[in-house]
A and B are shown apart, each in its own frame.
Chain A
Amino acid sequence: MSPRTWVIAKREFLATVTRKGYLFTLVLMPAWIAFAFSMSSFPSLLGGRNHGNEPARFVGVVDSAGVLGFRPGEADTMSRAAAIVAREEGGRAKLPRVTIAKLYPSFESAQRAFRNDEISGFLVVPADYMQSGRLEEYRRAGGLFGGSSAPPWHIWIRGRLLGARVEPRLVARVQDPGDPSTHVPDNRGGFKIYHREDELGLFLVPFGFAMLLFTTMFTSAGYLLQGLGEEKESRILESLLSSVTPDELMRGKLLGLGGAGLLMGLIWGAIGLQVIYAMAPVFLPPPSTLVLLFFYFVLGFILFGAVALGLGSLVNSYQEATTISAILSFTAVLPMMLGLSFMADQGASNPVARVLSMFPITAPISMAMRLSQGNVPWWEIAVSLGLLALAGWLVLRLAARVFRVALLLYGKTWNLPEIMRWVRQG
């Protein structure tokens, strides 16, 4: 590697990592993911809050069927059963907001109380309830998350239907029978406890790995393409080529921008690992996976970077480069989405995922997802890396040939036969 290559690499690296766009991506992407994640879990967070200390609210009941066992003027605390369960579980369960149900003799009286804001809503149990199972709830629309604060009608009705016929503890269990713990086969032929959160982890961790690889590779490749477009547009290339060879320029750009992508990946990776460590250490990938991800990044970037360089030498302006960059990213994100849907089914051993991880264009993303799920045979990793390296080498050679010829061609429209001719000339 010539000293000039290092000079170019250093310049490209520094010019990229000080770009506003790079810094924005570096900071905003984790912030955006954190925001999206918190938004998606917002309703469950609301539902999971301890509302036991909030002031009680009142709701009305019109029992036309007479099955709830209400006496005139009686008021019933709807959360009683949940409070019993919480007490029996040693206070671990979250206490719901205290809701007191009041009996109203008719729809009109309940409606009047609702309009006077004496109750936040009311339930009508029609006369044919036992036959039809039909219930009518009247309340104000609650907006996006309104459902999470609705009174626990079903649980409460179960309790009221059983009434004094069974002991309160049984009523509580009927109302909340509990969740079974799930056990799944482990690697040693036994079973391990399967946590509900595992489902989220099995989706999020491979997706996170794939996103990390995709974003870092394509951010760098995109900058490579745009930088070349800028240089072609500003006609600086001839000055540069009087000092360096096209190959030195190409290698320097690949190194510099690859380094910028790697830095982004390392920072995001470190943040991601910290988050996983803090929230679900069981999903922490082993060091060998991280090493393999590094190789997939390097080889993947060489492949996509070479494509970007070849295409970049053909464009005439920054705008053209941006368009091609977007197309390049889109073609790579498609396999990622495909891979996700396939892997949700059978995990790392899904046949489609295995094929995608062998095909060089989709290999880095697919394998990143498979590796995070573990149990990928070593020979598949070796073949996948070998094919990726071979494809990278071939594309790099072809791109170098186009790069040498097309770099100083301005305003020229190109087509496939012409590119093939340049490949031969270069």
Chain B
Amino acid sequence: MSSVLVAESVRKSYDDFVAVHDVSLEVRRGEIFALLGPNGAGKTTFLRMALDILKPDAGKLEVLGAAPSTELKSRIGYLPEERGLYRKQKVQPVLEYFGQLKGLTRAQARERTTALLARLGLAEWADKKIGELSKGMQQKVQICGAIIGHPELLVLDEPFSGLDPVNTRLLEEVIEDERKSGATVILCTHQIAKVEQFCDRACVLHRGRVVLYGGVDELIRSHSAEAYVVRTRAALGTLPGVASVARETVEENHGSQALPVQRVVLQPGYSANEFLAALGRLSEPVESFSRERLPLEEIFIRVVESSGESVRDLLAESRRAELLAQAKGA
């Protein structure tokens, strides 16, 4: 699989502050790649370098097979975190302008604008001034602006912020459509659940450094313990290869007593297949069996906290800032 973005030891400083510190990563063609990190982690600076808005101080950066340049800008779509539109102007001409800046002819830009506005449910707002639109609608106009040029690389910085659940679902579909039509997507978000749902691979930046990088499933697997969650009444501690068992609280389920949830850690050398075979030999019924899966957010927190930082506070702060921004926008 070819690469759409390759960074090798990329570095960027503002005076004495190192915003991006020897970052190396690769974004593969056709994937949805998550770039994560708390506020001030260096994500925006990295993206600005990829978009040729900023120049790196050191390292090598390749986008769509070449060094970032003006010529590549028309092949990249970007939804910045700092949103902005011409509030006094009407939706249709502003989007046509963005389309023309991406290299479309006027007719193409008009046609594409009409199609996108219809796709995002904004057709009847085409002749309205942007300032008259709600924050969510303005957000959708910006998304139209990001994808108007049929980008090969689509960079979305916090695309879900300010959207209600219906529009969030709509945007998810739009991102999926873009991927299906051949675009590679880089997604920056604080909603890490979305990353698990959407993204193939992820990179977590913290204080300008890569602290976590790889496939999302692989990251979760490698950071989750060799533990299994079994729902049964049977006593599992006596089974061969079981190192420890933690029994969870028994839940009430529609008036009947549900089966208890037991977290089992295996001894080194024992495989899941052997454990599953042993479960099959039990006389008590087993309602469910699964490998324990840590949420990505939890992994992120653990990895960053291992550097002595309270990431929970940082995340909480990020969320607070996001909520505040949403409240201000609403």
Contact = CB atoms under 8 A, between A and B. Distances in A.
Interface stretch (B23-31, B94-102, B217-225, B252-260): B94-102
Contacts of B142: 239
A363 interface: no
Given A7-B97, A239-B85, A242-B73, 8 more contacts: A234-B86, A238-B82, A239-B78, A239-B80, A239-B98, A242-B77, A242-B78, A245-B70
Contacts of A235: 80, 82-84
Contacts of A410: 82
Nearest to A7: B100
Contacts of B87: 234
Interface of A: 2-4, 7-8, 11, 15, 230-231, 234-245, 248, 408, 410
Contact of A242 (B76, B86, B97, B103): B76
B145 A239 contact: yes
B84 A234 contact: yes
Contacts of A241: 51, 53
A237 B70 contact: no
A231 B84 contact: yes
Given A4-B101, A11-B97, A15-B89, A243 B84 contact: no
Across the A-B interface, give the 5 residue pairs with the lowest CB-CB distance, nearest first.
A235-B84, A236-B84, A242-B78, A243-B101, A238-B80
Nearest to A410: B82
Contacts of A240: 101
B112 to A, nearest CB: 14
Find the residue from B52, B70, B74, B85 having the highest chain A CB count within 10 A.
Answer: B70
Given A4-B101, A7-B100, A11-B97, A242 B85 contact: no
Nearest to A248: B70
Nearest to A8: B101
A248 B102 CA distance: 13
A331 B73 CA distance: 40
A6 to B, nearest CB: 9
Contacts of B98: 239, 243
A4 B70 CA distance: 11
A15 B98 CA distance: 15
Contacts of B97: 7, 11
Find the residue from A231, A237, A240, A241 having the highest chain B CB count within 10 A.
Answer: A241
Contacts of A3: 103
Given A4-B101, A7-B100, A236-B85, A242 B80 contact: yes
A229 to B, nearest CB: 13
Given A15-B89, A408-B53, A239 B84 contact: yes
Contacts of A239: 78, 80, 84-85, 98, 142, 145
Contacts of A230: 86
5 contacts: A8-B101, A234-B86, A242-B80, A243-B149, A244-B101
Interface residues of B, number: 28
Contacts of A244: 70, 73, 101
Nearest to B104: A7
A242 B83 CA distance: 13
A239 B98 CA distance: 9
A243 B75 CA distance: 9
A317 to B, nearest CB: 13
Contacts of B82: 235, 238, 410
Nearest to A4: B101
Find the residue from A235, A243, A244, A248 having the highest chain B CB count within 10 A.
Answer: A243
A363 to B, nearest CB: 35
A251 B100 CA distance: 16
Nearest to B51: A242
B86 to A, nearest CB: 7
Nearest to B73: A243
A244 B142 CA distance: 17
Contacts of B76: 242
Nearest to A235: B84
Contacts of B77: 242
Interface in B20-58: 48, 51-53
Contact of B53 (A8, A11, A231, A242): A242
A196 to B, nearest CB: 51
A50 to B, nearest CB: 54
A12 B250 CA distance: 68
B73 A236 contact: no
Given A7-B97, A243-B74, A244-B73, A237 B84 contact: yes
A3 B100 CA distance: 9
Contacts of A15: 89
Contacts of B145: 239
Contacts of B86: 230, 234, 236
Contacts of B100: 4, 7
A235 B83 CA distance: 6
Contacts of A408: 48, 53
A214 to B, nearest CB: 27
Contacts of A236: 84-86
A247 B48 CA distance: 16
Contacts of A242: 51, 53, 73, 76-78, 80, 155
Contacts of A2: 70
A239 B143 CA distance: 11
Nearest to B157: A238
Nearest to B130: A234
A342 B174 CA distance: 68
A239 to B, nearest CB: 6
A244 B76 CA distance: 11
Find the residue from A2, A15, A410 having the highest chain B CB count within 10 A.
Answer: A15
A393 to B, nearest CB: 22
A235 B84 CA distance: 4
A198 B84 CA distance: 56
A7 B101 contact: yes
Nearest to A238: B80
A415 to B, nearest CB: 14
